[in-house]
Amino acid sequence: MTAQSPSSRAALPQWQHVAAHAAAMGGTHLRDLFAADAGRGERLVLDACGLHVDYSKQRITGETLPLLLKLAEACGLRQRIDAMFAGEKINTPEHRAVLHVALRAPQGEKILCDGHDVVPDVHEVLGRMAAFCRQIRSGTWKGHTGRPIRAVVNIGIGGSDLGPVMAYEALRHVADRQLTFRFISNVDGTDFVEATRDLDPAETLFVISSKTFTTLETLTNAHSAREWLLAKLGDPAAVARHFVAVSTNAAEVSAFGIDTANMFGFWDWVGGRYSMDSAIGLATMLAIGPELFEEMLAGFHAIDEHFRTTPFERNLPVLHGLLAVWNTTFLGAHTIAVLPYDQYLKRFPAYLQQLTMESNGKRVTLDGRVIDDYQTGPIFWGEPGTNGQHSFYQLIHQGTRMIPCDFIGFAQSANPLGRHHDLLMANVFAQAEALAFGKTADMVRAEGVPESLVPHKTFPGNKPSTTILAKQLTPRALGSLVALYEHSVFTQGCLWGINSFDQWGVELGKVLAKRIVPELESATEPKLEHDSSTNALIRWYRQASS
Ligand code: G6Q
């Protein structure tokens, strides 16, 4: 900790009250908190929009949330939420509104951006997407040789990939199994080759998803896709039947050769990592159909309304966000593990990594101050349960770090199979219990364990977790779950005083790579003017790859 500048969030009295409370709590153990309060497990829960959230195993006392709520107020959370929903340009460094909530606003609702109601625009695109999806799914849209489409390949990266892949995987059980879906993101040619090797170009549709339509990886893959298609179909006119685009950049889409009639647009007020429910969700809609896509949007919208209107003390995204700030900034956790106990959510941690870390991986406040007196965005990571239990859970249980966990589970399996689901869910509850309460040295001794092994077999406990449950992994539940994290991220960003909606940190590497490409491709030995390590690596590569 360095001296706090007067404009630092850490200089707020409400911040200091939270910090003092954290210090006073010391190592107060969850065992003691539960022992002192028989009703804790039933009281520290919230039900909203079909989600049941138990946060009783967080390291909080009766004082913690009221103090955090006061801090939220002092940080202007109410005003920030209202400004976002009102279409104000809260992404000030980019001078943009942040209106992903408009993407799921029902028809008839009014959301203004620069005085223009954007809700009709959203529904116009959704209507075009639905009509297109019906054509593909019914087989009435024919490929260039007259055959129906059987495979859909989404080409995109970052926000134009992670959401569509995650949603496709999550909702596979309600997807059209007649269609094959593939997702290509990496500029590594292996991604393209493996995704297309068994596909027939005459039956393949490429969805080129790129907000800017200038992204190196996506454009490189899109050009390879066109070559792959034309190598078999020959006629350049085939592109019109096998390529559609999702973008905000009509000029670049048509420069690539895609008819803008086959382009689905969105707007600069939709950030990439907040775009899975915009036209970027075209692959999702192709998989699950327009009706279920609408249900997913309704799930998002339910949480939006809850977030906008519910008092903070019962507001799910607000509480979730405040607990993340509490654990990270005040209790010193560096990472948060997201542990979905549902195989269909296997890409959910990867999706959340972008949502959380690209949004809140910032060290400068909205007003340009470098933050040197508190920690901001934690590292998010995770794997589906129960696999993680046989891998990294050891460190969570007995390592030296505190890693707060979000457990996610469902009451009913999409694939009921014998005892599997009860076994799965028993593990969710057991892990959260073991993390919170641990196993004392006395308990280990009482089992007759030799003294030399007692420390090894002791579980310290006091490891915080939140358990998030829903009845089933439906499109609606998925929408609500994602919206919960979106608004939690927003809440966290507001407390840290940072902008959750830009991502300048991805730029430098891109610029440097552009400079290095010709150095790798040059037929003659290039004059290298990097540092000695980079120069040597380039030389090694040139030699080894020739
Ligand atoms: C997300 C980011 C980033 C973006 C990709 C792809 O919030 O902006 O991940 O989605 O760089 O960008 P394009 O969609 O423009 O290709």
3-state secondary structure 316-383: HHHHHHHHHHHHHHHCCCCEEEEEECCHHHCCHHHHHHHHHHHHHCCCECCCCCECCCCCCCCEEECC
Per-residue pLDDT of the chain (546 residues; tens, 9 = 90+): 456 677 899 999 999 999 999 999 988 999 999 999 999 999 999 999 999 999 999 999 999 999 999 999 999 999 999 999 999 999 999 999 999 999 999 999 999 999 999 999 999 999 999 999 999 999 999 999 999 999 999 999 999 999 999 999 999 999 999 999 999 999 999 999 999 999 999 999 999 999 999 999 999 999 999 999 999 999 999 999 999 999 999 999 999 999 999 999 999 999 999 999 999 999 999 999 999 999 999 999 999 999 999 999 999 999 999 999 999 999 999 999 999 999 999 999 999 999 999 999 999 999 999 999 999 999 999 999 999 999 999 999 999 999 999 999 999 999 999 999 999 999 999 999 999 999 999 999 999 999 999 999 999 999 999 999 999 999 999 999 999 999 999 999 999 999 999 999 999 999 999 999 999 999 999 999 999 999 999 999 999 999
Helix, strand, or coil (residue 113) = strand
> Measured in angstroms, how far is the CA atom of residue 503 from the centroid of ligand 1?
9
Atom of ligand 1 nearest to the CA of 273: 7
Atom of ligand 1 nearest to the CA of 157: 6
Residue nearest to atom 11 of ligand 1 (CA): 158
| Whole-number pLDDT of residue 3 | 60
| Whole-number pLDDT of residue 1 | 47
| Whole-number pLDDT of residue 4 | 67
Residue nearest to atom 8 of ligand 1 (CA): 272
> Measured in angstroms, how far is the CA atom of residue 191 from the centroid of ligand 1?
18
**Do 133 and 286 touch, CB atoms closer than 8 A?**
yes
**Do 283 and 181 touch, CB atoms closer than 8 A?**
yes
Residue nearest to atom 2 of ligand 1 (CA): 272
**Which phi and psi (to 5°) does residue 95 adopt?**
50, 50
* DSSP result, 149-186: P-EEEEE--GGGTHHHHHHHHHTGGGS-TTSEEEEE--
- Which residue numbers are catalytic? 358, 390, 510
CA dist., res. 230 & res. 238, Å (int)? 8
Distances in whole angstroms, Cα of residue 182 to Cα of each of 166, 168, 169: 12, 10, 11
> Measured in angstroms, how far is the CA atom of residue 361 from the centroid of ligand 1?
16
Count the helices and strands in the chain (H runs, E runs). Answer: 22, 13
Ligand 1 pocket test: pick from 98, 160, 362 the residue with the most ligand atoms within 8 Å of its Cβ.
160
Beta-ladder partners of 53: 46, 468
- Which residues does a 6 A CB cutoff place in the pocket of ligand 1? 157-160, 210-212, 215, 218, 271-273, 358, 503
> Measured in angstroms, how far is the CA atom of residue 502 from the centroid of ligand 1?
10
Structure tokens at 159: 């926000």
pTM, 2 dp? 0.97
| Whole-number pLDDT of residue 130 | 98
Ligand 1 pocket test: pick from 96, 183, 212, 221 the residue with the most ligand atoms within 8 Å of its Cβ.
212
> Measured in angstroms, how far is the CA atom of residue 457 from the centroid of ligand 1?
46
> Measured in angstroms, how far is the CA atom of residue 477 from the centroid of ligand 1?
25
| Whole-number pLDDT of residue 5 | 73
| Whole-number pLDDT of residue 475 | 98
Residue nearest to atom 9 of ligand 1 (CA): 158
Atom of ligand 1 nearest to the CA of 280: 14
Structure tokens at 460: 């310290």
| Whole-number pLDDT of residue 229 | 98
Ligand 1 pocket test: pick from 207, 208, 211 the residue with the most ligand atoms within 8 Å of its Cβ.
211
